[in-house]
Structure 1
Amino acid sequence: MAYYRQVGSIPRTRHTAHRKDDGSLYYEELMGEEGFSSDSSLLYHKGVPSAMVNAREWVPGDQNTVPNQPLMPRHLKLHELFEGKPTADTDAVTGRRLILGNSDVRISYSWVGTTSPLYRNAIGDECVYVESGSAVVETVLGALEVSTGDYIIIPRAMTHRWVVENGPVQLYFIEANSHIGPPRNYLSRFGQLLEHAPYCERDLHGPTEPLLREGTDVDVYIKHRGDGPNGIVGTIHTVPTHPFDVVGWDGCLYPYVFNINDYMPITGKVHQPPPVHQVFEGHNFVVCNFVPRKVDYHPESIPVPYYHSNVDSDEIMFYVDGDYEARKGSGIGKGSISIHPGGHSHGPQPGAVEASIGAESFDELAVMVDTFAPLNLGEAGAAADDGRYASSWSGRWEGDK
């Protein structure tokens, strides 16, 4: 996100001496993407950012997946994974459970009740949606408050932790193997969000002051590539001084928060396709919002989606709040995920098309991820499957005969 910010104490000229009150140097670190060829920020540390005193293995949860085979649309009931179970000891790093994944993106979910360890995802950016609750995300560049309806984008390899004092906090994790940012068609060639974009820079909230923490022999959990399930492994680095020792930074790479209620939906005379709902994109996937909105104003328009075949993508819809006109009668409600895989034509439930005619607005809130490679089921995805959704269009099922 090429939007320059400057926080705390920095020297007038980059890569020049920046000294403490006692005359010793702060340690400058460049955090950058794509090998010095994309967005970056310069950080000024009290301690040496490369220093470490120990390393040991960490297993970052069950990362195994199985194919969606036989190919089926599915309904996952995420709330049942945690409802009625104690969450006081669950944190946002070690407590997330894998729902779906492929080589481009992984979708996880958790109900969080306690503060996480320090964490760094060295595989890709994270986009986390706060379904409910509130927390403070402390990062090496500063702290960000998040609450219901917020997305937070955390760049790859940025050390952070989730501070939770009043749980549970329900979190929906979208972990990329790439970077995540606004869709390219929303941006000028210089990186500014354009007038036709459904949000602008003033809707994005980044750190405003340094976050200084003291500590010695501090553990940092790192998720990274390696010879593990789906190529994912973990390591814990013990560092001699707290990594939140940055007195100042500037640049265009930093975490930021965007609230779904600040998204301005694009509507039309007849039904608009899913790309008008796009909010972020990564390599081989997009993230879309479906928010409360006025709908089509042609006198004979059909507001719910037409039946469509996902030729190139899997469509994953996370239902957050409101009424879901196209899915009525399917059993889907708050906390549900619908999986409509590539190769399966899908659309409204029986009766939903006729019932929607004449509607002037939809009161629905959902987060959709479309991927351009098939998604496999994680352990939590398999556990949350209701086993009946495929029959919701026909009213009958003979798959177990």
Structure 2
Amino acid sequence: MPFYRSLGQVPHKRHVQFRKPDGGLYREELMGTEGFSSDSALLYHTYAPTDVVAVTTWDIDGRETTPNHPLKPRLVHTHKVDEGGDAVTGRRLLASNEDVRVSYVVADQPSPLYRNAMGDEMYFVESGTARVETVFGALEVGPRDFVIMPTSATHRWVPTGDEPVRLLIAESNGGIRPPKRYVSKSGQFLEHSPYCERDLRGPAEPLIVEGDDVDVYVRHRAGGTIYTYAHHPFDVVGWDGHLYPYAFNMDDYEPIIGRIHQPPPTFQAFEAPGFVICSFVPHKVEYHPDAVIVPYNHANVDSDELMFYVDAAGGARAGHGIDAGTITWHPAGFIHGPHTNELEMAVQAYNAGMIEIKNMRAVMIDTFRPLELGEASLASEDSDYLATWRNA
């Protein structure tokens, strides 16, 4: 996280005696990244966070992948894999490489306590509402929220509405943070950033839960493990630091526009080792008198592009099966862009003054190493998508 927060009870200095009402010491836990050399948080537990009474294996299913060979674009309908379950064990794998795993889940029940010991996770809420309970406190989240969960933060998802919560999930093998060009050397968001600290929602107060012999599911490089703790890990009376979960709604992203079409990095929201995440939101069209307001043909020479459509594609794209919840997957080496009818119709509408706003909402994940297909993509792709590029 780019700025400091303090919540609950903390002593006046780090690593000094901090005593409970009964006279015993609170137990410090330093969650630090890059070997104590980068962002961290210091948490104060009532009980020892190391008190493990049992260890068992968690068998994580559906991790096998298939190369995208022969190389071709894909159209994936995530709503065809909405089996239900919880946000941890019910995930369906869409795509993965050495840097990121992209999954989808329709969570209709609370998840177990969970943490990812390999890297940060990005959750995007397509629809529904949930309470995200964490060792730092709770977050109330809803449609179009991004939730950034730091490495090894124990948490769980609890759906709260009448409908399940639909989540697009990116599991990183490193940190997920705002792009470096958006923040100063000291970590403050700069004036040209499309969002700032005021847009980020962190926990408001500590979350204390009593319990004994509590299971926590841990995802790690060798697979999955279930730790059973003597006491519930949600026993933190206070914490401070720069590392904690937060939510950011895509509608708070302020798009940057220009006289001519702006490239995807204009909409970048986060960066991570080996991939970036972009937030496409409604915005004013370009204003050059001869502007072409749809993208030019482009070849992803060094990245695979996953575009998750929050709303169904409008205009000429509406005829290609791109509904809410679909993913267009354009791999490195495949040249793509507007279809002929989309290009001509957009120019005609712009010249006639019929278009003022581009009403698009989508989350794009661009990776810099090839992605392989997960079982959920193979089970839900549109095999006719390639044909839509003929005569484009």
TM-score with structure 1 length normalisation? 0.94
Does residue 197 of structure 2 align to residue 201 of structure 1? yes
Alpha-carbon distance in structure 2 between the residues aligned to 1:332 and 1:253? 37
Alpha-carbon distance in structure 1 between the residues aligned to 2:43 and 2:333? 47
1:293 to 274, 279, 283: 283
The range that moved more, 184-193 or 366-375, is 184-193
SS at match of 1:143: strand
1:93-172 equivalence runs, <5 A: 93-166=88-161, 167-172=163-168
Q: Does the aligned pair in 2 maintain the 1:61–1:97 contact within 8 Å?
A: no
> Deviations 1:358-377 (Å, cap 9, x if unpaired)?
03221110000000000000
Structure 1 stretches of at least 4 aligned residues deviating more than 2 Å after TM superposition: 322-329
Cα distance, 1:59–1:324 mapped onto 2, change above 3 Å? farther
Alpha-carbon distance in structure 2 between the residues aligned to 1:317 and 1:132? 17
Shift of 1:326: 6.3
Q: Does the aligned pair in 2 maintain the 1:113–1:165 contact within 8 Å?
A: no
Does residue 35 of structure 2 align to residue 31 of structure 1? no
1:2-21 equivalence runs, <5 A: 2-21=2-21
Alpha-carbon distance in structure 2 between the residues aligned to 1:288 and 1:222? 28
SS at match of 1:321: coil
Q: Does the aligned pair in 1 maintain the 2:279–2:361 contact within 8 Å?
A: yes
Alpha-carbon distance in structure 1 between the residues aligned to 2:48 and 2:133? 20
Q: Does the aligned pair in 1 maintain the 2:316–2:345 contact within 8 Å?
A: no
1:182-197 equivalence runs, <5 A: 182-197=178-193
1:264 to 243, 247, 254: 254
Alpha-carbon distance in structure 2 between the residues aligned to 1:394 and 1:48? 63
Partner of residue 68, structure 1? 68
Q: Which amino acid aligns with 2:91?
A: R
Does residue 345 of structure 2 align to residue 355 of structure 1? yes
Q: Which amino acid aligns with 1:14?
A: R
Q: Does the aligned pair in 2 maintain the 1:328–1:349 contact within 8 Å?
A: no
How many matched pairs?
385
Shift of 1:395: 6.0
1:334 to 296, 300, 324: 324
The range that moved more, 13-22 or 325-334, is 325-334
Shift of 1:355: 1.0
Cα distance, 1:326–1:347 mapped onto 2, change above 3 Å? farther
Does residue 80 of structure 2 align to residue 80 of structure 1? yes
SS at match of 2:390: coil
Partner of residue 45, structure 2? 45
Alpha-carbon distance in structure 2 between the residues aligned to 1:34 and 1:362? 41
Q: Does the aligned pair in 2 maintain the 1:58–1:235 contact within 8 Å?
A: yes
Q: Does the aligned pair in 2 maintain the 1:325–1:362 contact within 8 Å?
A: no
5+ long unaligned stretches in structure 2: none
> Deviations 1:252-291 (Å, cap 9, x if unpaired)?
0000000011000011000000000000010010000111
1:221-236 equivalence runs, <5 A: 221-226=217-222, 233-236=223-226
Cα distance, 1:253–1:326 mapped onto 2, change above 3 Å? farther
Q: Does the aligned pair in 1 maintain the 2:128–2:166 contact within 8 Å?
A: yes
SS at match of 1:192: coil
Partner of residue 239, structure 1? 229
Shift of 1:300: 1.1
Shift of 1:324: 3.8
Q: Which amino acid aligns with 1:8?
A: G
How much identity, in percent, do the aligned residues show?
A: 55
Shift of 1:379: 0.4
Shift of 1:331: 1.5
Alpha-carbon distance in structure 1 between the residues aligned to 2:289 and 2:319? 26
Alpha-carbon distance in structure 1 between the residues aligned to 2:32 and 2:316? 43
Does residue 29 of structure 2 align to residue 57 of structure 1? no
Shift of 1:328: 3.5
Shift of 1:39: 0.3
Partner of residue 252, structure 1? 242
Q: Does the aligned pair in 2 maintain the 1:350–1:393 contact within 8 Å?
A: no
Partner of residue 371, structure 2? 375
Q: Which amino acid aligns with 2:269?
A: V
Alpha-carbon distance in structure 2 between the residues aligned to 1:92 and 1:390? 32
5+ long unaligned stretches in structure 1: 227-232, 397-401
Q: Which amino acid aligns with 2:382?
A: D
Q: Does the aligned pair in 2 maintain the 1:323–1:362 contact within 8 Å?
A: no
